[in-house]
């Protein structure tokens, strides 16, 4: 996953009270986003020999608004989740390298060091470096682009009453 570490402290300002986890039918029904999936598949064709196993992944917009996690990859359930804030500001420009980062997680998995799982291993970083926009993505995060997108998304997302259908 891509987590923004550098500005953690400033995020406390935006913190909302912890949300209750409710198991609702809508949470279990994961619907893929066709546009994200097109980029995902294109990256697989380009970098991983069109591997059909990788194409089994579902790529979805995360239901929860996330302030620190841009995206995550679950290698067991084969689901990649992208934070809704990635739709705002200049974030859409960085969707491809972001999905590539998650794709590398799907390919590399993790190594175990002692009792710790290491996801961003040297092997992972080598794989990741093959994409020319990874550095740009990291710069964008470092320079506050992601923080800005989160802020814009908060302004533009109308709060809906929680409802279960
Ligand atoms: Zn990661």
**Domain interval for residue 125:** 32-152
Q: Is 105 domain-assigned?
A: yes
DSSP per residue, 64-75: S--SSEEEEEET
Q: Find, among 82, 81, 78, 83, the residue nearest to 51 by Cα.
A: 78
Q: Determine, yes or no, domain membership for 160.
A: no
Assign residue 157 a region (left: φ > 0; alpha: ψ between -120 and 50; beta: otherwise).
beta
Measured CA to CA, the distance from residue 32 to residue 80 in angstroms comes to: 10
Whether residue 19 lies inside any domain: the answer is: no
In the structure, ligand 1 is a single-atom ion and the residues with CB under 5 Å from it are 1
Tell how far the Cα of 156 is from the centroid of ligand 1, in angstroms.
27
**129 CA from centroid of ligand 1 (Å):** 13
The 10s digit of each residue's pLDDT in 15-53 is 333 444 444 444 445 788 999 999 999 999 999 999 999
Question: What is the pLDDT confidence band of residue 67, given thresholds at 50, 70 and 90?
Answer: confident
Measured distance CA(59)–CA(2) in Å, rounded: 15
46 CA distance to ligand 1 middle (Å): 20
Enter the pTM of the model. Answer: 0.79
Quote the ligand 1 centre to 162 CA distance (angstroms): 31
- Token look-up 């802020």 returns 151
- Ligand 1: centre distance to CA 22 (Å): 27
């Amino acid at each position: 996953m891509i987590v923004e570490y550098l500005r953690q402290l400033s995020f406390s300002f935006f913190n909302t009270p912890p949300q209750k986890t409710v198991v609702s039918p809508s949470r279990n029904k994961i619907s893929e986003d066709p546009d994200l999936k097109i980029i995902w598949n294109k990256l697989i064709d380009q970098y991983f020999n069109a591997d059909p196993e990788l194409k089994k992944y579902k790529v979805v917009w995360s239901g929860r608004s996330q302030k620190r996690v841009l995206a995550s990859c679950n290698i067991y359930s084969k689901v990649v989740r992208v934070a809704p804030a990635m739709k705002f500001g200049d974030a859409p420009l960085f969707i491809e390298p972001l999905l590539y980062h998650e794709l590398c997680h799907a390919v590399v998995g993790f190594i175990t060091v002692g009792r710790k799982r290491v996801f961003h291993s040297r092997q992972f970083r080598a794989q990741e470096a093959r994409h020319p926009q990874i550095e740009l993505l990291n710069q964008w995060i470092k320079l506050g682009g992601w923080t800005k997108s989160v802020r814009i998304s908060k302004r533009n997302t109308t709060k809906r009453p929680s409802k279960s259908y």
